[in-house]
Every structure is written in structure tokens, then in C-alpha cells.
Structure 1
Amino acid sequence: MAPTTPTAAAVGSTSARSPGRYASLDVLRGIAILGTLGTNIWIFTNAEGLVGYLNGTGHATGGWSITEDVLKQLVQGKFLGLLTLMFGIGLAIQQTSAHRREQRWPGRYPWRAALLFLDGLLNYFFFAEFDVLMGYAVTGLIVAYLLSWRIRRQRIAVVVAVCVHAVLLAVAAIGLWLLEHSTTPSEPKALSPNPYADGSFADLIVFRAQNFVMFRFEMVFILPMSVALFLVGAALYRRGILTPAAAGVRRKMMLIGFGIALPLDFLVGIFGGDAGLLLGRYGIAPIVSLGILAAIAHVYADGRDTGAIGNALSPIGRMALSCYVAQNILAGLICYGWGLGLSAHLGPDTVVPATVGLFVVVSSAMMVFARFWMRRFDRGPLEWLWHESYLTLSRSR
């Protein structure tokens, strides 16, 4: 069965985009997807996977240590925030489309959320215990109903969500700081048995099932932040953040995101210990994300063609779900014991260049895969499956 009908125009060209489609949307989604890979790639190249990443094991030494810290800080939390904002914008676009067709909102959106949750659940068990799709499904369902409220109530919801998140973040950061300064540092216990390096594909599935609550804790912890960013993304879309009219707003966002938040994020993240990393990833980095969103939207707000870089990123953005899962599959295949087992052979002097090289390889593969696919089809493979499933469920009601 063919995934979709072939497209007539080349990907990334003006004619390939539907009327009224913003070029910046696909570029931003592409950047967000590859940006999350830039964060997660360090988990794949850690011999103990997410457990080792959280414990701080497998870190580079010597000059590579500084390079690793800087590279991690460059991506830490920024693209998670950007991806979250993009989901909020996508939700606002769906709501606008529903109103244009004179349909109720949120209408059948819960089916979309249920399918996204299922996608995330499968991605979690099979490929990536740091999956974000499950969290976005829950957040999207909540925000879909919040978007049916009046604008003033939505603003109140943002304030409440930010306050709840700030309290949770402060408590967690203070707890980490007290723990760091009240106990003698000790080497974390090695993961034994190690399903990442030595286990089979099935062993990793079992391991993720056994540690489901621990691995899914982040999803619960950042729920208020995600709700706030979804609503902010939707509000920015209504404000016309992607259009020439919002140039002043974008400049302010870039000033705050890059001029204030980014330097502060680096200071706190690199010199603040575990508490600083937490504050940076979940407190300051989302503000940097607003600057990234504004900067890319500013480039394309005048309707210019996407250019060479945009042409490479847009296909990834158009099939973001497929590329998000595919990059996890490819990285796992290269790094884990059920595949080529690269991570088990990396040491303190090789982990950084190997990780950078792997990021380049996987990113390039995603660009080639997405461009090849979108030249022939209207949707990515998972997008097509998701869409057909949604139509089937909607008709069955």
C-alpha cells in the first residue's frame, strides 16, 4: 500500500508549499528535531545509556572535557523548548483550521492525542526511554481544551503554569544543591548487567519496562512548563510571530533570548553543578528557545525562498515524527549492543569526536532520507500511518 500520493513539485520550493504555508515552520521543526538529536546523541554514546548520562559517567577527560561541556550546554534544553513551542503553534494552526471549517474545537482532537501517546509509548519501549511524544500528547490534550477558553483566561493559565513550574524547579534545584554540599561525592555504581552494551533488543525493552516510572518522571516534572510553552507558542502564532508585522516582537525576543538568557544559561549550566544544570535546562533554556524561534522566523518573515540550508531542513520539518523516530533507531543501531555496539568501545579520549561524528552521520542521513521521501510523497511514513489511523478512528465514532 503506498504511503501517500506523489508530490508534483520539488521539496522546499515555493510551489511545493501549500498556499499560506509559512516557510519558517518547516525549517523551525527541522532545527528542533536535529537539535533534540544533538542533546540525545550523548545518551546514545554513553556506554550505560541514559543511566550513565544521568550519573555523569563516561565523561571525557583533558581538553576534551571542556569541549564536551560546551557542546552539551549549547543544546541543553534549548531545542526541547523550541520543539515544545512548535507543538503549541501547531495546535493553534489546527484550531484555526477547525474554526475556518466551522467545526467545534477541540472536537476530535483527543483522538490525535491518543495516537500521539501511542506513538510515544512504542518509541519509548522500542527505541528511546527519553521519548518526548508521550508528554506532548498529554500536554496537547490539556492545552487543546485551554485554547477554547477566552484569551484572558489563557493568559492566567500561562501564569499559573509558570508559577507551578518555578516552585517545582526551585525545590528540585535546592534539593540537588543541598545534596551536593552535604554529602561526600562518590563514584556511581556501575550498571550491571548493562543492557545497553551487552543486552539484546528484547533486554532493553524489559529494562525500560522495569524502570518506567523513573524514566518517565521528567515527563511529569515538566508538565507545567510544557503547558506554558504550548500556550505561549499558540499566543505567538496568533500575534503573527511568523509575519512581517511582528518584527518588533521578534527583535525583543532575540534580545532577551540571546543577549540575556544565553550567557546566563552558560554561566549557570557550566559552573552551577547539578543544580545549575537543572536550572539551565528547565528554567533559562526555554527563554533561549524563544530567541531561536524569533531569529528563524525573522529570516523568513518576508516570504523569501528557504535557500540551501532551509531546503535541507524543511523536509525534516515536514516529516518531523518520522525523522524523530528514525534518528533514534539509527543512533541505537550504531551505539547499542543489539546493533554495532559503538558506545562500549569509546573511552574518555574518543567519546567527544565519536559523538560529534555520529551526530553528523545521523543528521546527514535524516536530511537525505527526508528529502528523498518528500520528493515522492506528501507525508512521511509515520505521518501517513498516523493520518490514516486518525481518519479510521474518526469515522468509527
Structure 2
Amino acid sequence: MTALQHAPTSSRIAAIDVVRGLAILGTLGTNIWIFTDPDGPAGLLTVVETGTITANVEAAIRFLANGKFLALLTLLFGIGLELQYRSALRRRGRWPGWYLWRAALLFGEGLMHYVLIFEFDVLMSYAVTSMLVAYLIGRSERVIRGWTVATVSLHVAFLSVVTFGLLTGHASMNGTHSDRYASGSYLEQVLARLTGWGAFRAEAIFIIPMSVALFLIGARLYRAGVFAPEGQRLRNRLMLFGFGVGVPLNLVTAYAGPDWFMVDRYLLPPTIALGLLGLIPAVLGAMRGAPGFVRRGLTAVGRTALSCYVFQNLVATILCYGWGFGLAVRFDWARPWWVIAAWAAICATFLTLSTWWLRHFERGPLEAAWNWAYRLPQRKKTPESIDGRSPRDISRC
């Protein structure tokens, strides 16, 4: 219990909301290259040939976003699980108890998101991971350390095997051209997700070991005080590791060709995400004065993260795919400039809308629906009997 005493104890930490908001918009910075590619999901595997100004710009921007914010979001999910665990301890509630129902609801939402909107949904993977980590979060430091080392080792071993196959020609990362996203109907895309389950869900499965490790690391960093005023030394170490080690190595793999795709996307970005987890709270702590539009907007996006994650992907599909406005084909000649503009416009829209929404409602629309579904099987219980927490405590976690 000693480790728990060093972390912040407030039920809502503003810096966490800001970091979460940045991570949500950052994931769009990765996914936008999929939505704006006429080949759709195959664009994830597209290798940018450098040499021209536009190609160099696209390669640099892809490097900045690729995998980093997904890893940051994963760390934050681990921190969120730690907050749930702390809340149960404070109120002497059962653990994991109803948390497993929360994870099941997240899986269901991820399933709908996958089928109806986006091939590379991450919510289903997070739901499975959270069910596993829920049984580990309260164990001893030795057990948590052992599981972290084991899952990192498994993840690195898998990436090493695949990378070796790519380097030796025994594996390929080439995407398959399809007109389904450029000119196909919405129902055709839904059917493709249902019939192509194995291919589209492969990423969600093989990142589970990495996600388990990042969940546990995020929880441990929170306990160590990464968001606490006295945690600057820890934040400095994270920045030194993430930016001093991760960035140089990731720059090499980013321009090393398609054979290093797995390392470039799934191995080095988590180290940079640790640097971001140290940098952002440090910057926020140094700020003075009232928050401006961007900071208020990021806080609002962080508080409505589920809604923003799903709806920003929905907006991107409507704008880019053939059944919508078809901008992916129409503006393919203007890459990467129009892609950058599309990302910035969607981000500005959600910064504005989420801020406005929270002025009128306590939760985001999907968060409200989720809260209703979470409480539905417990409707005969008193508010205080739900995991030992009141509704207000639940909304803050």
C-alpha cells in the first residue's frame, strides 16, 4: 500500500483529461491516413517513397503520429483502471466486481464500432486487456513486474519473428487494392468487415501482450506520482528515455523501408509515448493563467473520449469514403496537404463541440449511454451499493 500513498488522490486530475484528449486526437492523426487513402485500410501498409518535398512531409508527419498516441492512450487506460481500483479500495467495494461488466460493455461498443465504422477499432482489444489486468492490478509489485516483463518479452519475440520474416522475404506487408472504399457502398464495407474478421482483427489480438504491459506500466507510473507536483524527477526520466532513446531509433526505422514496419509501429512508439507522458504534465504544470481554447478543448475531449474517438472516425468515413463525400479520391492529387487540413478541421470541430456539449450535459453522448447500460442490471440497488461508489464517483473515473 505504500506505493498508493505517493500518487495523487483527487478524483479528477485535469492533466489526465488533457493527455487523454491529446491521445484521442493523436490517434486520428494515424487513422486519417487510412481514411484518406483510396485503398482504405490497405493505406495502413502504404510505404511513402521519399525524395520530393510533399513525400518527405507526408513521411515526417506519419512518423510523428504512427503508434505513439495509440500507446499513450493505452497507458492512460491503465491509469484509468488504477483509478477504478483505488475507488473500490476506498469504499471497500468488491474487486473486480462490476468492473468486469464495464469491460464487457466496452467490448460491445468496440464491436459495434468495428462492424459499423472502422476496421482497426482498438476498444475490443482494450476490453479484453482490462479484464486480464483487473486481476493483476492489486497484486504485489513483484507479480506486476513479472507480468510486465513476460508480456513485453512475448511482444518483442512476436515482432522479431515477423520482422525476420519480412527481412528474409518469407513474409510481406503489401496491402490489397480494393475499390470498396473509393466507390463501394456502406453495406459493402460492413459486409467486408464481417467476412474479413480474421485479417482486420489480427492487430487487435497481437497487441494484447503490449497492451497488458502498458496498462501495468501506466498504473505503476501513476502510483509513483507521474501526475503529482513532486513527480518532476520521474517525468524527466521518462522524457530522457522516450525522446533520447526512442526518437532516434524510431527515426531510423521510419525511413528504413517496409521490412521494419512492425518495429516502427509497435515497438518503438511505446517508448516515445512514455516521453510524452512525462512531457505533457510537465508543460501543463509550468503554465500560468486561465486555460485557452486549445487546453479547454483538450480537457473536454478527454472527458468525452469515447464519444470523440467513435464520432471522429465516423466523420472521417463520411468525408472520405465513396458512399459519403468521396474526398479520398477527389483530393488524392493534393496529398499530403489536404490530409493535414482534414485532420486539423476534424480536431477543431471536436475541440469546439465537446466544450459546448459539456456546458449543457454532464457526460458525452456515448458516455451517457454507457452509464445507463452499466447501471441497468443494478437498478434495484441503491447508488451507494454499486461497487461501493456513487454515480458521481463513477463518472469521474
Q: TM-score, normalised by structure 1?
A: 0.89
Equivalence for 1:136: 126
Q: Match of 1:290, as an amino acid? A: L
Matched with 1:34 is: 25
CA distance in 1, matches of 2:100, 2:286: 35
CA distance in 1, matches of 2:129, 2:13: 24
Residue 260 in structure 1 maps to residue 260 in structure 2 = no
- In structure 2, do the counterparts of structure 1 residues 226 and 283 end up closer, same or farther at CA, with 3 Å as the change threshold? same
Q: Give 1:61 shift.
A: 7.8
For the residues of structure 1 that align with 2:321 and 2:261, how far apart are their CA atoms?
A: 26
Alignment partner, residue 337 of structure 2: 353
CA 1:52–1:290 in 2, change beyond 3 Å: closer, same or farther? closer
1:211 partnered with 2:202: no
Does the Cα contact within 8 Å between 1:253 and 1:291 map onto a contact in 2?
yes
In 1, are the aligned partners of 2:104 and 2:127 still within 8 Å (CA)? yes
Task: Report the CA distance shift for 1:394/1:141 in structure 2 as closer, same or farther (over 3 A).
Answer: farther
Q: After TM superposition, where is structure 1 displaced by more than 4 Å over at least 4 residues in a row? A: 301-306
Greater displacement, 386-395 / 285-294: 386-395
Q: Distance in 2 between matches of 1:238 and 1:279?
A: 29
Question: 1:254-303 CA distances to partner (integer Å, 9 max, x unpaired)?
Answer: 01111221121111111x21232321211111000001011112233479
Alignment of 1:350-389 (within 5 A): 350-389=334-373
Aligned positions, number: 372
Q: How does 1:156-235 map to 2 (within 5 A)?
A: 156-179=146-169, 190-191=177-178, 194-235=179-220
Structure 1 residue 313 displacement after superposition: 0.7
Contact 1:85 1:233 in 2 (8 A): yes
1:120-146 Cα offsets, whole Å, 9 max, x none, are 111111111111100000001100111
Matches of 2:16 and 2:289 in 1, distance apart? 13
Secondary structure at the residue paired with 2:177? coil
Secondary structure of 1:362's counterpart equals: helix
Aligned counterpart, 2:260: 276
Is 1:286 the counterpart of 2:276? The answer is no
- Specify which of 65, 68, 86 is matched with residue 96 of structure 1: 86
- Residue 40 of structure 2 aligns with which residue? 49
Task: Give how far 1:199 is off.
Answer: 1.4
Q: Shift of the alpha carbon at 1:189?
A: 5.5
1:62 counterpart = 2:55: no
User: What SS does structure 2 have at the residue aligned with 1:146?
Assistant: coil
Does structure 1 residue 331 correspond to structure 2 residue 322?
A: no
2:101 matches 1:114: no
Tell me if structure 2 keeps the 8 A contact 1:73–1:266: yes
**Over aligned residues, Cα RMSD in angstroms?**
2.2
Which deviations, in whole Å up to 9, do the C-alpha atoms of 1:179-214 show, x marking residues without a partner?
28x99x9x96632xx221111111110011111110
* Alignment partners' CA distance in 1, 2:328 and 2:110: 24
Distance 1:300-1:294 versus aligned 2 partners, 3 A rule: same
Letter in 1 for 2:209: P
CA distance in 2: counterparts of 1:48 and 1:54, whole angstroms: 10
Paired residue type of 2:45: L
User: Retained in 2: the 8 A contact 1:243–1:301?
Assistant: no
Q: Distance in 2 between matches of 1:306 and 1:24?
A: 14
Matched, 1:21 2:12: yes
Within 2, Cα distance between the matches of 1:305 and 1:203?
A: 51
Cα deviation 1:320-366 (Å, max 9, x = unaligned) = 0000011001111100111101112233x412111011001110111
Give unpaired runs (5+ residues) of structure 1: 1-17
* 8 Å contact from structure 1 (residues 333, 339) kept in 2: yes
Task: Quote the Cα distance in structure 2 between the aligned partners of 1:156 and 1:352.
Answer: 44
8 A Cα contact 1:243 1:302, kept in partner: no
